Amino acid sequence: MPQWFVCDNEIVKGPFTEDQVVQMMNNGLFHPDSTVWGKILDTWKPYTWWKSNLSDLKTKAEHAKDPAQWHYALDGETFGPMQRKALVNIIKNMKGDANDVLLWTQGMNQWAPIYEFHDLMDEAGVNRRQFPRAHCEGKIVIQQGNQYIVGDLNSISEGGCGAKNFNFDLAPGMVVKAEVICKALGGSMHVPSQVRYIDENTVGFKFISINREAQSLIISYVKEKNLETIEQLRKVG
């Protein structure tokens, strides 16, 4: 059964079943102009559109097997849709500065700079121009109401982090209470975050606010890890 998210007054809530969405809307818990999103939708849709197309959407969800489709923009031109593997290959062989690329995939409200997509940059071998990042092992705990969802921390920068293996539906744009747990970063830090993108098993988070101490710890960690990588490359060379 597909899960749905509702964006009400710029706040993303969910996941819900279709019956829950309809019931809460009928009970006045959401504004009539709210929008709805699920993994089978490319963009957030008005509630009235979603409700009138619900039968077709459920049929589509039952047969949906295609991976997420990506688009990229560079120098005022847009390209896509394409699968992630094709996008990575294009960025790898790009003649211009890949840091200028903007990306969009299903569920995102707007285009985002490539430096927000840690894992994709790693795959494409792009050197980060803003917010240097590094691989980081640990956990990230997301609090949703009374629920606590744990994922595996994969990469981190002062601007956000990448994580995998969430046994829970999240939606782009959702604002969450996040706790990053990493021994290399001194233990635990609480960082209110926004879900920026979801791709297969990976979730990208953007830190909304972060205190100076936590920010300094991350900057020092990333710098140290990148220096280690440089030294390793020198030894190989």
- What pLDDT digit, counting tens, does each position of 47-105 carry? 999 999 999 998 887 766 556 789 999 878 899 999 999 999 999 998 777 888 999 98
What pTM value is reported for the model? 0.65
Contact yes or no for 197/108 (Cβ under 8 A) = yes
Please give the single-letter amino acid code of residue 120.
Answer: L
Answer whether residue 168 shows pLDDT above 80: no
Q: Return the structure tokens found at 77.
A: 């031109």
Distance separating alpha carbons of residues 82 and 164, to the nearest angstrom? 22
Higher pLDDT among residues 158 and 109, named by residue: 158
Whether CATH 1.10.3720.10 fits 134-232: no
Q: What separation in angstroms does the CA of 3 have from each of 20, 76, 191? A: 10, 35, 26
Task: Say if residue 15 is preceded by a cis peptide, omega within 30 of 0.
Answer: yes
Q: How many residues does this entry show for the chain?
A: 237
**pLDDT for 40:** 84
